[in-house]
Amino acid sequence: MGYDPENPMKDRITDIGPPHFERFFPALVKKNYGKWLYHEILKPGVLKHVSETGDELYTVRIACARLISIELIRDYCDIADKHADGIMRWTTRNNVEFMVDSAAKVEPLLADLKKHGSMPVGGTGAGISNMVHTQGWIHCHTPATDASGVVKAIMDELFDYFTSMTMPAQVRVALACCLNMCGAVHCSDIAVLGVHRKPPMIDQDLISNVCELPLAIAACPLGAVKPAKGINSEGKEVKSVTVNEEKCMFCGNCYTMCPAMPLADPDGDGIAILVGGKISNSRSMPKFSKMVIPFLPNRPPRWPEVVAAVKNIVEVYAKDAKKYERLGEWAERIGWEMFFEKCNIPFSDKCVDDYRLAYNTWRTSTQFKYTSHIK
């Protein structure tokens, strides 16, 4: 029955979990589940899986903006109804895949996707697939940059890499709009990260009412937040905190815990670029991405500096790395000093780790290469 606000627990259904995934399998997938022999990438965006029963499954992958309207979902459903028995799936990078059971059905499907205009096919093999990203200014309260806008600007510039497979290995690009790093920023080949550069402001009128002060104090990774008496706008003494600005590195954790400590700032906020992370175990161990560009300004709506920086790194990597070599493997093989030189990125003191376990990231060896790109 309809929800009754007077009696909220009546007819309440709970703890039912997601529906079982098998309910949404294409018939051919259900039949061949656990029996796949091998797969091929026929061309960018088109995969073929062959089963031990001899069945062939063709998958067409298209880009998706992740943040989409129900109209677009219905467009996807129309395509799925027409070509793929009404079934489609989303990938872990928020691409969309349509599966058909014969080679003859692939071309008509591709033709319809092309006709739609905003369903580009690609994202397979050694190219650049979708960007994993976050909420940004659309919905979150702690961002230092936008997500959807920056992603659109970058993917426009990298579009040819989405629809081709010309890289040494796949390049995973991710974005997070603050260093909560929701998503994959800490482990992506190229990561775009929103950063602040100014300490929080303390709202003395609100702080003692809306904040659990010990939480704000414990939220600081550097011990910069301390309990203190504050004076509110009425001149009354209130329980509050102080921020040691010399110690603050603008992470924003205290604002996450305490709404009276906002720190977003239009000029201070911007984007840092990290590179060289990966999560797969192939060849080398998983790696964290490392910061190479500490700050680029927020320049909506197209973020030209950020786009140029990402594109530059992609192009130098594509030209220089060996086959199968991920960006982090390449940078570690040639040495980070060569990475900075080849990419012509000025190295700054901001990239030198100074947080607790920093020592291990410094060079305790005489092995290095002379570089000269910064005059």
Partner 1 sequence: MAKIEHKGKAYEVDEDGFLAKGMEEWDNGWVDYVKSIEGITDMTDEHQKVIDALQEYYKKNGIAPMVRILSKTTGFPLKRIYELFPSGPGKGACKMAGLPKPTGCV
Query: Which stretches of the chain bind partner 1, using CB under 8 A?
Result: 7-9, 180, 208-215, 239, 256-259
Residue 156 Cβ vs partner 1, minimum distance, rounded to whole Å = 31
The whole-angstrom separation of Cα 317 and Cα 165 is 14
In one letter, which amino acid is 299? R
8/17 with CB nearer partner 1:
8
Q: How far is the CB of 366 from partner 1 (least distance, A)?
A: 45
Q: How far is the CB of 187 from partner 1 (least distance, A)?
A: 19
Q: How far apart are CA 10 and CA 1, in angstroms?
A: 9
- Rounded to whole angstroms, how far apart are CA atoms 267 and 145? 11
210: left (phi over 0), alpha (psi -120 to 50) or beta: alpha
Closest distance to partner 1 from the beta carbon of 256 (Å): 6
Q: What CA–CA distance (Å, rounded) separates 97 from 169? A: 21
Nearer to partner 1, 113 or 207 (CB): 207
With respect to partner 1, which residue has the nearer C-beta, 119 or 147? Answer: 147
In whole angstroms, the minimum distance from the beta carbon of 5 to partner 1 comes to 8
Apex 119 CA angle, 115 and 124, nearest 5: 125
Q: How many CB atoms lie within 10 A of CB 246?
A: 8
Q: How far is the CB of 165 from partner 1 (least distance, A)?
A: 37
Q: For partner 1, which is the closer residue by CB, 91 or 256?
A: 256
- Cβ closest to partner 1, residue 27 vs residue 215: 215
Segments of the chain assigned E as strands: 36-43, 46-51, 56-62, 88-90, 96-100, 173-176, 190-195, 225-231, 237-243, 270-275, 290-297
Q: How far apart are CA 165 and CA 181, in angstroms?
A: 28
Minimum distance from residue 149 beta carbon to partner 1 (Å): 23
The token pair at 366 is: 């005489």
**CB nearer partner 1, residue 125 or residue 259:** 259
Give the span between the Cα atoms of 337 and 147, in whole angstroms. Answer: 30
Nearer to partner 1, 155 or 213 (CB): 213
How would you class 40 by CB atoms within 10 Å of its CB: exposed for 0-12, middle for 13-18, buried for 19 or more? exposed
Contact status, residue 250 vs residue 198, Cβ threshold 8 Å: yes
In this complex, which beta carbon is closest to partner 1, that of residue 257 or of residue 272? 257
Distance (Å, rounded) from C-alpha 321 to C-alpha 316? 8
Whether omega for the bond prior to residue 221 falls within 30 degrees of 0, making it cis, is: no
User: Minimum distance from CB of 179 to partner 1 (Å)?
Assistant: 13
Q: What angle do CA 86, 89, 95 make, to 5 degrees?
A: 130
Instruction: Find the shortest distance in angstroms from Cβ 183 to partner 1.
Output: 13
Given the complex with partner 1, which of 76 and 255 has the nearer CB atom? 255
